[in-house]
Amino acid sequence: MKKTKGSELAEKLTFTQPHIADAAPKAVEKAQAFCEDYKAFLDAAKTEREAVKEIERRLRKAGYQPLDRTAKKPYKPGDKVYYNNRGKSILAATIGKEDLEAGVRLMIAHIDSPRLDLKPNPLYEDTDLALFKTHYYGGIRKYQWGVTPLALHGVVAKKDGETVEVHVGEEAGDPVFCVTDLLPHLGAEQSKRPLSEGLKGEELNILVGSLPYEDEDVKERVKLQTLALLNEKYGITERDFVRAEIEAVPAFKASDVGFDRSMIGAYGHDDRVCAYTALRAEIDTENPKFTSVCVLTDKEEIGSMGTTGLNSDYVFHFLGYLADIQDGNYKLMLQNSKCLSADVSAAFDPTFPDVMEKRNASFLNKGVCLTKYTGARGKSGTNDAPAELMGFVADILDDAGVIWQTGELGKVDAGGGGTVAQYVANRDIDTVDIGVPVLAMHSPFEVVAKLDVYMTYKAFAAFKASKK
Ligand code: MN
Ligand code: MN
């Protein structure tokens, strides 16, 4: 049937965001296969420290060498180096054919996720139960963290110089831990609280024991019994909690979601889904035109402060070392660089449509989300990527056949948020946000679509391989 003039014009001038399964049907099977390894990564990397360990293992396996900061001769195109920053953030690079002054292709994602951290003095006994006090890390909806199985992950830096790892609640047969909540029969008063106080910060206490130490002459016998078990297993005393970082995270593993297995439910997609896809793209980059740098950072969820967060100089020290070794002009390198700040976006949830503006929201299965700005209250606190940069990245994605969408973080004045983009852009590097749409972000069980994860990998690989 002949098209009308109007329908021809509409086809030419308007845009409708396709479902990836329609626009790229072959991607469905590829995404399934790609995401099997992603689930394994999630299970192996539930904290920033574990993520760094797992990433370093994968980098070494792929032939990356530790950066030699005092190297006397420049690295060759195709050489692969990495730098482990204090075991909590990590950088990897593949040297390009062009001089560093032509700029680097920088990708940044974060590997910390919201969770419950133990307080420095966590252990106490109340009414014959032993519990841990916690201080939550990052933006959580506190009521979501009650009555869900928790595992404890972390380290204790002992006085004898040894750092012992704590890792309980993940293996088959391990005990788990939990924050308790009231029964509905007695919940009438609690139910009148606003949702944000359904469980209050000081009610996020983790149940860890209930048996007394056998000697009836001592006080707080359940606490003592807990300490005795910890001392037996880790050689630590109560005072050593001050020298520890122990994080309570959901104890379950990543699973497929849906009859069609099209989605993944897991703890910590934000932002390990971008960290994983960025890492895979970095490892797969062979002989790029521009030097490729991949940064997987800590502390994003609490404002990027500290030596392992993006607001510190560690990334720029790394770039400075590279410039020295390659004998390139550091400032020119920064000015000519392009950065993808890879972080998740809030996917449209049909159960809660009111917080989104449908024309400018991101959706599951519609591709990697390119975000011009984040922020809150009139774009406050955002890196607002310039039109030229949006065009530059859009061209790379289009040329590589990547299905991508755009979206804002909710309706104007509905809330908002930020990413690390500002810390990079403030250093004179063109930066734009991009990432995977997520449902139930910051909850213990976040959901992503496999097709979006796969398209995000394709987007990052295309950015690193780009010739312009
Ligand atoms: Mn994030
Ligand atoms: Mn986040």
pLDDT digits (tens, 9 = 90+) for 406-431: 999 999 989 888 889 999 999 999 99
Residue 448 Cα to ligand 1 midpoint, Å, equals 13
Rounded CA separation 233/235 (Å)? 6
Residue at token pair 């948020």: 417
Residue 136 Cα to ligand 2 midpoint, Å, equals 13
pLDDT over 90 percentage in the chain = 95
Q: How confident is the model at residue 66 (pLDDT cuts 50, 70, 90)?
A: very high
Residue 446 CA: distances (Å) to CA of 236, 271, 272 = 34, 11, 11
Residue 343 Cα to ligand 1 midpoint, Å, equals 5
Could you give the domains of the chain?
16-113+267-465 (3.40.630.10), 115-250 (2.30.250.10)
pLDDT digits (tens, 9 = 90+) for 113-166: 999 999 999 999 999 999 999 999 999 999 999 999 999 999 999 999 999 999
Residue 135 Cα to ligand 2 midpoint, Å, equals 17
Closest CA to 27 of 453, 460, 461: 453
pLDDT at residue 1 above 80?
A: no
Residue 97 Cα to ligand 1 midpoint, Å, equals 32
Q: How confident is the model at residue 381 (pLDDT cuts 50, 70, 90)?
A: confident
Residue 334 Cα to ligand 2 midpoint, Å, equals 27
Rounded CA separation 275/270 (Å)? 9
Token pair, residue 370, equals 């390119």
pLDDT at residue 375 above 80?
A: yes
pLDDT at residue 468 above 90?
A: no
Residue 442 Cα to ligand 2 midpoint, Å, equals 6
Residue 383 Cα to ligand 1 midpoint, Å, equals 15
Residue 205 Cα to ligand 1 midpoint, Å, equals 26
pLDDT digits (tens, 9 = 90+) for 274-319: 999 999 999 999 999 999 999 999 999 999 999 999 999 999 999 9
Contacts of 335 (CB under 8 A, 6+ apart): 103, 428, 429
Mean pLDDT of 363-384: 93
Contacts of 406 (CB under 8 A, 6+ apart): 360, 362, 369, 370, 371, 372
pLDDT digits (tens, 9 = 90+) for 333-363: 999 999 999 999 999 999 999 999 999 999 9
This prediction's pTM:
0.97
The answer to whether residues 62 and 285 touch, using CB atoms and an 8 Å cutoff, is no
pLDDT for res 407: 94
Residue 110 Cα to ligand 1 midpoint, Å, equals 7
Residue 404 Cα to ligand 1 midpoint, Å, equals 19
Closest CA to 62 of 373, 349, 340, 280: 280
DSSP 8-state class, residue 197: G
Residue 427 Cα to ligand 1 midpoint, Å, equals 20
Rounded CA separation 296/364 (Å)? 24
Residue 363 Cα to ligand 1 midpoint, Å, equals 17
